[in-house]
Amino acid sequence: MRGALSWLLAVCALSFVAWAVPVRDRCWDEGAPSSTQVSVSRVENGCVLHVKSGDVVIDAAACAKLRCDPGLASTLSRARVGVILALFVLYAIGHLALALRWRILLELADIDLPLTEVWRIAIEAQAGGVLLPGGIGGDALRIAWVTAKPKRGGGRASVAIVAASVLLDRVVGLTLIATVAVALGSAFGGIGGGPLVWALTALPLAVVAGLIVIRSPFVERMTWLSRGRFRRALAPVLAYVRDPRAPRAIALAGAFSIVVAGAQFVIIRGLLFALGAAPTGEKWVYVGTAMAFIVGAIPALPGGWGTSDAAYVFFFSRAGLAPAIALAVCLLYRLFWYVVAVVGALLYAARPQSVSEESVALEPPGEP
């Protein structure tokens, strides 16, 4: 049932995007009724109107009098390739900061891996995340591969504690995304006090409060959490979060997460610049981006297709951006993701030996 609901959500989101985003420009004569809106293709000396009775060619002068909403094809054709390439370099640098963040949280679990290995595991898992639902599939691969690595002092880390590091990594990332989005939205005219804004503001507060509660003596006295059927999954997780080094590690991971979040927002805003778009409501660019990242983690279609696209189209419309521009930004950002995923797949294929099924078999720690 849960799987069916996830697919239904993704199909609804994709249907909304297909309805809202035209492939060709949609144009109309401002002096005519709105029902005269038609799809238009640009040609060298004018336009082609794709009307029901057949294609009609008009000259450049008549074409210039039309008012148009841009289509996806014309939006992408105007993109500045040099700017996009520079933004991809920034995306790659942001991935290095993301690997540093996770490495800090792995060290808290006494898993001492070189930064290059953490980065490699992360982008190899990203390749899997392209084929698996949402961001959860890639996280499962990260857990599997790290549990196959030796732990500091010998032995291997339990699946539960590695899952805790991955979950904490994702929570810290999304928390700082929400925090930076609220800060940027406030800097560009304020973001009001609606339910969405309150939710984004409450997310970091809830995470901090949750960590304080877990580390409190009250919860520590709840011995039933680490007994019976809960013991195998919860005992190592609670020990991980209650480690005396945890506050410093989480704070340092948060600092790197600010770098990651900042890079992601610069990339999205840079993609709008590369497409020649000028938002009228700048704050909604950042709030919408944060929501797209958050809903993209919902395990619906592989790679988060549908949910992220719909979030960009919906929230960027509040920034005064055409649906085609919003979808173009989403697709270009996803292209960056896929390019890095291809690198990850090639690195995985180049490994001298694959991890055996026995070494990566997941214990039942509960859902990460």
Exposed/middle/buried for residue 16 (C-beta within 10 Å: 0-12, 13-18, 19+): middle
Q: Which residue from 325, 310, 318, 329 is spatially nearest to 283, judged by alpha carbons?
A: 318
Question: φ and ψ at 306, to 5 degrees?
Answer: 100, -65
Q: What does pTM read for this prediction?
A: 0.76
Strands 67-69 and 25-28: antiparallel
Residue 284 or residue 46, greater confidence: 284
Is the model's pLDDT at 359 over the cut of 80? Answer: no
**Residue 131: helix, strand or coil by DSSP?**
helix
If one compares 1 and 83, the residue with the highest pLDDT of the two is: 83
In this prediction, residue 137 has a pLDDT band, given cuts at 50, 70 and 90, of: low
Contact (CB, 8 A) for 161 and 362: no
CA atoms within 13 A on the CB side of 219: 14
Look up residue 83 and give its two tokens: 């700017």
Residue 107 has pLDDT above 70, yes or no: yes
- Per-residue pLDDT, 31: 62
Q: Is the pLDDT of residue 101 over 80?
A: yes
pLDDT (0 to 100) of residue 88? 95
- pLDDT at position 151 is 73
76-85, 216-225, 291-300, 357-366: range with highest mean pLDDT: 76-85
pLDDT of residue 19: 61
The span from the CA of 166 to the CA of 116, in Å, is 17
Query: Residues of the chain with pLDDT > 90: what percent?
Result: 16
pLDDT at 257 (0 to 100): 92
In this structure, what are the phi and psi dihedrals at residue 114, rounded to the nearest 5 degrees?
A: -60, 150
pLDDT at 87 over 50: yes
Q: Shortest CA distance to 42 belongs to which of 80, 68, 20, 18?
A: 68
Burial of residue 79, with CB atoms counted within 10 A of its CB: 0-12 exposed, 13-18 middle, 19 or more buried: middle
The per-residue pLDDT for range 203-223, each reduced to its tens digit, is 888 888 888 888 887 766 666
Q: Are 97 and 260 in contact (CB under 8 A)?
A: yes
Residues 6+ apart with CB under 8 A from 232: 160, 363, 364, 365
pLDDT digits 0-9 by tens, 9-36: 556 656 656 666 667 777 777 666 555 6
pLDDT, tens digit, 9 for 90 and up, residues 231-260 = 666 677 777 888 889 899 999 999 999 999
CA angle 263, 264, 266 (to 5 degrees): 65
How large a percentage of the chain has pLDDT more than 70?
A: 75
Q: What is the mean pLDDT of residues 318-339?
A: 88
Q: What is the pLDDT of residue 202?
A: 83
- Distance between terminal CA atoms of the chain? 20
Of the pLDDT bands very low, low, confident and very high (cuts 50, 70, 90), residue 104 is very high
Residue-level pLDDT at 48: 80
Q: What is the pLDDT of residue 357?
A: 39
Q: With beta carbons less than 8 A apart as the criterion, state whether 238 and 225 touch.
A: yes
Domain assignments of the chain as residue spans, ordered by start? 24-70, 81-360
Q: Is residue 277 over pLDDT 90? A: no
pLDDT for the residue 102 = 92
Provide the pLDDT for residue 307: 74
Confidence of residue 296 (pLDDT cuts 50, 70, 90): confident
> Which pLDDT does position 230 carry in this prediction?
57
Q: Which of 160-164, 223-227, 296-300 has the highest mean pLDDT?
A: 160-164
For residue 38, the model assigns a pLDDT of 74
Q: pLDDT tens, 151-188?
A: 776 667 778 888 888 888 888 988 899 889 888 888 87
Residue 91 CB contacts under 8 Å (≥ 6 apart), including other chains: 263, 267, 336, 340
Mean pLDDT of 291-318: 75
d(CA 268, CA 90): 11
**What mean pLDDT, rounded, does the chain reach?**
78
pLDDT of residue 6: 55
Give me the helices (H) in the chain, please.
2-20, 60-64, 72-77, 81-108, 115-131, 136-147, 159-187, 195-214, 217-220, 228-241, 246-274, 282-296, 307-318, 323-349, 357-360
The DSSP output letter for 367 is -
> Biggest alpha carbon distance in the chain?
80
